Chains A and B, each alone.
Chain A
Amino acid sequence: MGEEQQKPAGDDGVPQAMIDLRAELRETHVAEVLDTLDRELVGLAPVKQRIRQICALLIVDRVRRRLGLISEPPTLHMSFTGNAGTGKTTVALRMAEILHKLGYIRKGHLVSVTRDDLVGQYIGHTAPKTKEILKKAMGGVLFIDEAYYLYRQENERDYGQEAIEILLQVMENQREDLVVILAGYASRMDQFFRSNPGFRSRIAHHIDFPDYSDGELMAIAESMLAAQHYKFSLDGAEAFAAYIAERRLQPLFSNARSIRNALDRARLRHASRYFEQDGPVRLEDLMTIDAADILTSRVFNAENSN
């Protein structure tokens, strides 16, 4: 209907405006955020593609609104599913930035919470707690990590239900004030959505974060080291590649987070190795993580003992 009424503007002899979407993209500086997303985050191709799609939709929507075409404010609530350490929080931070630059949220801050921050400990404690968090998140993005803990199906008197109800209400009524991103493991999130159909219908974008491949983890490790002015020696790189392959098979593997922890421990061993050795140390040595720092890891020992 709205489109029909707006179109005559072109028929009055005013030439139909040509809209340069690229210019729009440049103007909002979203392209820069997308580029940093591409550059800084290794892998995650489906996620990046999905974010580009959302961006395209939002930019077109923005232009349409400016031209007076009626379009409902889009639902922007999202769910990020994927294993630990696949970059959900990082992407959520970028998402907040993108939405802010496109003008869909007013402030662009990210409030990251878990069940503890939303659910109270006694009757009547939950509602004020949840509201407090919601007030803080207004104008930005509320990121609920491991959202499935909100709902405990084994306990029907669990206070989580109350938090869910308040959340749903705000997600529906204040869509222009707040974007909610739920995050967690895929299988448990599925179950959560099944038992809370209200959430599923209010969330427009379900984004799945794939696990990283070994090559991608290696690239992540290198960029993490580079950020701290370290680098692998040739042997060190080889050893770390072996480490990744080995670590993946062990329990509690959490992608990039495991890599970060492994690097922290490698730095620890690197430091103590040079500390115990007599004589001066070259600058080059202080920057280089060698095979010795990695091969002493417990991960390899476990393999030997088996």
Chain B
Amino acid sequence: MRVTQGCFSFLPDLTDDQIRSQVQYCIDKGWAINLEYTDDPHPRNTYWEMWDLPMFDIKDPAGVMLELAACRKAHAGRYYVRLSAFDASPGWESVRISFIVNRPAKEPGFRLVRSEGPGRRQIYSLQSYAVDRPESERY
């Protein structure tokens, strides 16, 4: 099952050229660009691992693409990688854009977990098949 989240989630995965123009857009807006990765695809998993520091004073997308290439080299096919851009102009860092730039080769999808609560109430939750294995061995 193809996990989607953030901007452009209804589109096919962006190509490198498309990512580059999105990065250029963020730079033009003065946003800081950040790469994050995770191997826990649960939709409620919002805090992903950071790849290096956020890139604050980058003038050209080439710098970001360099980091993205390095991140993919380390995590290709095994992790989700997302690119997000932060706007500091309100006085705090707020996410303006965020989209997935790399995904595991195989995404096994989610199962529905039913458990009983008080009074035989059914509690439904989602669990990825991938998380059965320990972290960093999931994909």
Q: Give the residue name and chain of the B residue nearest to A174 (CB).
A: B62
Binds A, one of B2-10, B51-59, B127-135: B51-59
Interface 0/1 of B39-75, CB less than 8 Å to A: 0000000000000100101111111101100000000
How many chain A residues touch B (CB < 8 A): the figure is 14
Question: Is A107 in the interface zone, CB < 8 Å from B?
Answer: yes
A110 to chain B, nearest CB (A): 11
Distance, CA A91 to CA B57, complexed state (A): 24
Binds B, one of A132-140, A212-220, A240-248: A132-140
Number of A-B contacts (CB under 8 A): 38
A134: chain B residues at CB < 8 Å are 63, 66
A131 to chain B, nearest CB (A): 8
A140: chain B residues at CB < 8 Å are 59-60
B63: chain A residues at CB < 8 Å are 134-136, 138-139
Contact across chains for A139 and B59 when beta carbons are under 8 A apart: yes
B60: chain A residues at CB < 8 Å are 106-107, 138-140, 177
A135: chain B residues at CB < 8 Å are 55, 58, 63-64, 66-67
B57: chain A residues at CB < 8 Å are 136
Interface 0/1 of A160-179, CB less than 8 Å to B: 00000000000000100110
B64: chain A residues at CB < 8 Å are 135
Interface 0/1 of A122-152, CB less than 8 Å to B: 0000001001001110111000000000000
Q: Give the residue name and chain of the B residue nearest to A105 (CB).
A: B60
Distance, CA A131 to CA B55, complexed state (A): 11
B57 to chain A, nearest CB (A): 6
Q: Which of A135, A136, A138, A174 has the most CB of B within 10 A?
A: A135
Contact across chains for B62 and A138 when beta carbons are under 8 A apart: yes
Question: Is A109 in the interface zone, CB < 8 Å from B?
Answer: yes
Contact across chains for A138 and B66 when beta carbons are under 8 A apart: yes
A287 to chain B, nearest CB (A): 40
Distance, CA A109 to CA B59, complexed state (A): 8
Q: Which of A109, A138, A178 has the most CB of B within 10 A?
A: A138
Contact across chains for B59 and A138 when beta carbons are under 8 A apart: yes
B66: chain A residues at CB < 8 Å are 131, 134-135, 138, 174
Contact with B52, one of A107, A128, A139 (Cβ below 8 angstroms): A128
Q: Which of B52, B61, B64, B66 has the most CB of A within 10 A?
A: B66
A139: chain B residues at CB < 8 Å are 59-63
**Can you list 28 contacts pairing A with B, beta carbon distance less than 8 Å?**
A106-B60, A106-B62, A107-B59, A107-B60, A128-B52, A131-B66, A134-B63, A135-B55, A135-B58, A135-B63, A135-B64, A135-B67, A136-B57, A136-B58, A136-B63, A138-B59, A138-B63, A139-B59, A139-B60, A139-B61, A139-B62, A139-B63, A140-B59, A140-B60, A174-B62, A174-B66, A177-B60, A178-B62
The chain B residues found within 8 Å of chain A, CB to CB, are 52, 55, 57-64, 66-67
Further 19 A-B residue pairs, CB within 8 A, beyond A136-B63, A140-B59: A106-B60, A107-B59, A107-B60, A109-B59, A135-B55, A135-B66, A138-B60, A138-B61, A138-B66, A139-B59, A139-B60, A139-B61, A139-B62, A139-B63, A140-B60, A174-B62, A174-B66, A177-B60, A177-B62
